[in-house]
C-alpha cells in the first residue's frame, strides 16, 4: 500500500507524542513492505527527502511567524498535496487544525483519523476555542472513513457521543534495558533518592497539585520537574516554588540517555496528566521501570490498572511522599507488571501490526 501520514511536525521526532508515533509507525509499516510518506514542516531540522527508507514531503509551516493560524495553513498545504500522489491510505494524526480541510482529501484514499484526547477539555483554552474544538471533533468524526481511539475511554466516548465505532490502538514504547548510574552524577543524586515528573507546563497536568503536596511533605528527597517553563504557567510555577530548594526545575531535557536514566533510577515518578488518551510519556516511564504515582482518572487507570499509586489532591501526594510503606516488594511487583504490559500490549511492533490490520480492512 501507498500510505501518507499527516498531522505532525514531522520525523525524526524532536517534538512530541504524535511525532513519536509517526516515526515508529512509519518504520514499522515500511518494514512490512509498504511505501510510506510522512509530511514534515519546512522548519523541521531534518531537510532530506528520505529518512530510513521513508519518503519525506516538506510543506510550508508559518506557525512561528503568524502563530496558531499557521497550523491551519500547514495542514491545508499538506492535505492539498495528498491529492497529487495516489495514496491508498491517509493516516491523519489529530483533528484540531485539519478537520476544516478534510473534505479536500482525495476521494479514493481511505482516511483514518487518530482522534487523540478530548482536546476541548484542556483548561488552557478559552471558551471560544473549546467550542471550536468541539466543532472540529465532530467534523473529524464525520469526514473520516475510520477512527482510531488511543484509549478505551476515548472509544467509549466516541460511541456514546457520535454513535460511531472506532478501533482501539494505543501508543507504543520500548523497554529501557541499559541503565547507566553514572548519568546521575550530573544531577548530584544517588539512585532512588529523588522523585520526579516530566510534563508540559499546563494546568491540566496537575503539576501545581503535585508540587503543593511535595511542599507540605517532610521528605528530604529533591524533586525534579523536567519540562520547558518558558510559558505563562511555567513562569508562575517557578515563582511559586522558588523558596523550596528541594524542588528543582531542570528545564527540558532532550537527550534520551539522560531522560531514561533519570526515570529508571527515580524513587517515585509522578504522572499528573488528566486530559487525553494513552499518554506516551506514561508508557515511556513504565518502560523505564518507574514506580508510578498517577492522577486518578480513567485514562491513567486504563493503562496502569492496579500497578500504581493514585492521587486526587495534594494531601494524597503528601501522604505518599511521607509514607514508610513503599516496600521493595511492592516496587518490584508494580514495575514488573508494567514492564510486561509494555512488552505485550504497547510494543511498537504490536502497534504497527494493529494499524496495518485496520488499513487492510479496506
Q: What percent of the chain has pLDDT over 90?
A: 82
pLDDT score recorded for residue 125: 67
Query: Do residues 233 and 325 both lie within one domain?
Result: yes
Cα 112 to Cα 164: distance, rounded to the nearest angstrom = 13
54-to-36, 40, 223 alpha-carbon distances in Å:
6, 12, 40
Query: Do residues 44 and 187 both lie within one domain?
Result: no
pLDDT score recorded for residue 117: 66
Query: Do residues 331 and 308 both lie within one domain?
Result: yes
Average pLDDT of every residue of the chain = 93
C-alpha cell at 254: 532532550
Query: Do residues 231 and 317 both lie within one domain?
Result: yes
pLDDT score recorded for residue 331: 92
Q: Which structural domain, as residue segments, surrounds residue 197? A: 181-345
pLDDT score recorded for residue 123: 64
208-to-215, 216, 237, 247, 313 alpha-carbon distances in Å:
10, 12, 7, 12, 10
Query: Do residues 42 and 11 both lie within one domain?
Result: yes
pLDDT score recorded for residue 274: 86
Is 80 exceeded by the pLDDT of residue 232?
A: yes
Task: Give pTM, 2 decimals.
Answer: 0.85
Cα 269 to Cα 286: distance, rounded to the nearest angstrom = 9
The enclosing domain of 154 has a CATH number of 3.40.50.2000
pLDDT score recorded for residue 362: 61
pLDDT digits (tens, 9 = 90+) for 42-64: 999 999 999 999 999 999 999 98
pLDDT score recorded for residue 120: 60
Is 90 exceeded by the pLDDT of residue 268?
A: yes
pLDDT score recorded for residue 131: 87
Query: Do residues 255 and 207 both lie within one domain?
Result: yes
Query: Do residues 98 and 121 both lie within one domain?
Result: yes
> What is the average pLDDT across 202-229?
96
Query: Do residues 262 and 315 both lie within one domain?
Result: yes
Query: Do residues 84 and 220 both lie within one domain?
Result: no
Query: Do residues 168 and 220 both lie within one domain?
Result: no
Q: In total, how many domains does the chain have?
A: 2
> What is the average pLDDT across 199-219?
96
The runs of H, that is alpha helices, within the chain are 17-31, 63-66, 69-81, 127-143, 152-162, 207-215, 232-240, 256-264, 280-287, 298-304, 314-321, 328-345, 348-360
Q: Are 145 and 89 in contact (CB under 8 A)?
A: no
Following DSSP, what letter does each residue of 56-73 receive, concatenated? EEEE---HHHHTTHHHHH
Query: Do residues 248 and 281 both lie within one domain?
Result: yes
- Please, is 236 exposed, middle or buried when counting C-beta atoms within 10 Å of its C-beta (0-12, 13-18, 19+)? middle
> What is the average pLDDT across 273-279?
80
pLDDT digits (tens, 9 = 90+) for 93-129: 998 889 999 999 999 999 999 988 666 666 666 788 7
Query: Do residues 287 and 143 both lie within one domain?
Result: no
Amino acid at each position: 500500500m501507498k500510505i501518507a501520514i499527516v498531522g505532525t511536525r514531522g520525523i525524526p521526532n524532536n517534538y512530541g507524542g504524535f511525532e513519536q508515533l509517526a516515526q515508529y509507525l512509519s518504520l514499522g509499516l515500511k518494514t512490512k513492505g509498504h511505501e510510506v510518506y510522512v509530511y514534515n514542516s519546512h522548519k523541521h531540522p531534518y531537510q532530506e527527502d528520505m529518512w530510513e527508507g521513508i519518503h519525506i514531503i516538506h510543506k510550508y509551516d508559518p506557525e512561528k511567524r503568524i502563530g496558531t493560524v499557521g497550523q491551519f495553513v500547514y495542514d491545508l498545504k499538506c492535505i492539498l498535496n495528498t491529492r497529487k500522489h495516489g495514496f491508498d491510505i491517509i493516516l491523519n494524526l489529530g483533528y484540531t487544525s485539519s478537520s476544516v480541510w478534510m473534505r479536500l482529501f482525495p476521494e479514493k484514499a481511505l482516511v483514518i483519523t487518530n482522534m487523540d484526547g478530548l482536546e476541548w477539555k484542556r483548561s488552557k483554552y478559552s471558551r471560544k476555542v473549546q467550542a471550536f474544538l468541539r466543532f472540529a471533533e465532530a467534523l473529524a468524526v464525520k469526514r473520516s472513513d475510520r477512527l482510531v481511539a488511543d484509549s478505551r475511554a476515548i472509544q467509549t466516548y466516541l460511541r456514546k457521543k457520535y454513535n460511531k465505532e472506532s478501533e482501539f490502538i494505543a501508543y507504543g514504547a520500548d523497554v529501557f534495558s541499559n541503565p547507566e548510574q553514572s548519568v546521575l552524577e550530573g544531577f548530584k543524586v544517588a539512585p532512588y533518592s529523588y522523585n520526579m515528573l516530566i510534563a508540559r507546563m499546563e494546568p491540566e497536568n496537575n503539576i501545581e497539585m503535585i508540587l503543593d503536596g511535595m511542599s507540605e511533605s517532610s521528605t528530604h528527597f529533591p524533586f525534579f520537574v523536567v519540562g520547558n517553563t518558558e510559558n505563562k504557567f511555567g513562569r508562575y510555577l517557578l515563582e511559586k516554588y522558588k523558596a523550596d530548594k528541594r524542588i528543582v526545575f531542570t528545564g527540558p531535557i532532550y537527550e534520551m540517555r539522560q531522560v531514561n536514566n533519570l526515570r529508571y533510577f527515580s524513587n517515585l515518578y509522578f504522572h499528573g496528566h488528566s486530559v487525553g488518551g494513552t499518554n506516551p510519556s506514561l508508557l515511556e516511564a513504565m518502560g523505564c521501570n518507574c514506580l508510578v504515582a498517577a492522577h486518578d482518572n480513567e485514562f491513567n487507570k486504563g493503562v496502569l490498572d492496579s500497578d500504581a499509586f493514585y492521587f486526587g489532591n495534594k494531601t494524597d501526594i503528601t501522604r505518599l511522599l511521607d509514607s514508610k510503606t513503599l516496600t521493595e516488594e511492592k516496587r518490584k511487583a508494580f514495575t514488573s507488571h508494567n514492564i510486561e504490559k509494555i512488552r505485550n500490549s504497547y510494543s511498537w511492533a504490536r502497534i504497527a501490526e494493529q494499524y496495518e490490520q485496520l488499513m487492510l480492512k479496506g
